[in-house]
Amino acid sequence: MPAIQSQSSPATLLWDHQDLIPLQENLGDGDLVLLLTPAAVPLDHSIANSSDPFEPLGKALARTHPWIRHVPYTKGCGITGTHVAFIKRARVVIFVLTGFSTEEGLFQLELAEVAREVCEERPLVLIACCEVSEEGAREYGFPTIIQCPGYFATDLQAVAVLLTSERRTIEATPTAGNSPPPPTWSLLEWNYDRDLPETHALWEACLPSKFHLNRSTLGSLLKRDGYAMHYMVREPHKGQAIGFCATFTTFMDSSGDRLIGSVAAILVHKGFRGLGVGRFLHDEVVRKLKNIRGVGITQLGSTFPRLLYGLPVGETDLE
């Protein structure tokens, strides 16, 4: 079931873990948006072969934010030094591909991975102009993905509308007067290789920019074999990561047999707050910490690694 799709629109937002949409709300005057598109033959035969079939996407985006730079990439050259220079100047990068499971698509995905590495902390949006399953897309860990069936002008214009429109509905928010029963959450053990990309996106979406970390730094903080136990909550239907809890155990003193259990961080996607996700994570992990042999104290925050220490405060107090 698509996350957000107008009844008349061919474009579907699979997920936006970065809270990047609507795009213009995350851009200032002069902020460059880089549109990277593959060199492809137009699907619409009425368009001259010399025309770039992705030009309608750039033009449609420019109506909302005029600072769009459209740079194609080719199979023969891949991501070049010119692309890298543009990425370094951009505030947001939009990477378009025309295949996913095909040989051509897999090559384009490799280039998307290269672009993501070059982006560092810059947000990247993946636009898949092809059929793609949510399960298949989730394997690659891109934090914002839009899918449309092809790259006809109507498809691309629908993508631009989706990128720049307000998200007025959240599936997890019950409607007044017809409230469904509270959802049941499941606690999942965190896996470094599988879950780090989504955890990093959730971290950046939930915390102010001054606390943002690059993915490798966050991974090194979380991966403490023997001392770290982290947990996830996923939306039960689509599998989107909506909650994360980091816990650590450390020795209380030099005796080596008494431990402190620390709840280092609890993050909940803002679209799913108020539904009991954070409370569920807190209660479950505290129970697990207390069941560990030697744990005599549980606390909020961790002294090592010092992610958060003490009672949490609102985001407005952290800016």
Contacts of 53-56 with C-beta under 8 Å, sequence gap 24+, read: 53/151, 54/96, 54/151, 54/156, 56/153, 56/156, 56/157
Amino acid 304: pLDDT? 66
Instruction: Report the C-alpha gap between 49 and 221 in whole angstroms.
Output: 51
Amino acid 166: pLDDT? 72
CATH architecture type of domain 186-300: 3-Layer(aba) Sandwich (3.40)
Convert the pLDDT of each residue in 193-252 to its tens digit: 999 999 999 999 888 888 888 999 999 989 988 889 999 999 887 888 999 999 998 887
**pLDDT exceeds cutoff 60 at 6:** no
Average pLDDT rounded to a whole number, residues 131-152: 86
Average pLDDT rounded to a whole number, residues 177-192: 76
Convert the pLDDT of each residue in 35-50 to its tens digit: 999 998 887 766 555 5
**pLDDT exceeds cutoff 90 at 270:** no
Average pLDDT rounded to a whole number, residues 54-82: 93
Q: Is the bond leading into 22 cis (omega within 30 degrees of zero)?
A: yes
Return all residues near 218 (Cβ < 8 A) that are at least 6 apart: 196, 199, 200, 203
**pLDDT exceeds cutoff 50 at 318:** no
Given a contact cutoff of 8 angstroms between Cβ atoms, the answer to whether 231 and 188 are in contact is yes
Instruction: Report the C-alpha gap between 61 and 42 in whole angstroms.
Output: 19
Convert the pLDDT of each residue in 114-125 to its tens digit: 999 999 888 999
Q: Which of 7-21, 88-102, 147-161 has the lowest mean pLDDT?
A: 7-21
Amino acid 2: pLDDT? 42
pTM: 0.56
Amino acid 210: pLDDT? 82
Instruction: Report the C-alpha gap between 301 and 163 in whole angstroms.
Output: 37
Given a contact cutoff of 8 angstroms between Cβ atoms, the answer to whether 42 and 51 are in contact is yes
pLDDT band with cut points at 50, 70 and 90 for residue 17: confident
**pLDDT exceeds cutoff 70 at 150:** yes
Average pLDDT rounded to a whole number, residues 104-123: 90
Average pLDDT rounded to a whole number, residues 104-112: 90
Supply φ then ψ for residue 125, to 5 degrees.
-110, 130
User: Over the chain, what is the mean pLDDT?
Assistant: 83
| CATH of span 12-164 | 3.40.50.1700
pLDDT band with cut points at 50, 70 and 90 for residue 180: low
Average pLDDT rounded to a whole number, residues 260-283: 89
**Domains 12-164 and 186-300 alike in fold:** no
Chain centroid to CA 225: how far?
Answer: 25
Domain locations in the chain? Answer: 12-164, 186-300
Percent of the chain clearing pLDDT 70 (strictly above): 83
Q: Which one is predicted more confidently, 182 or 245?
A: 245
Instruction: Report the C-alpha gap between 242 and 258 in whole angstroms.
Output: 33
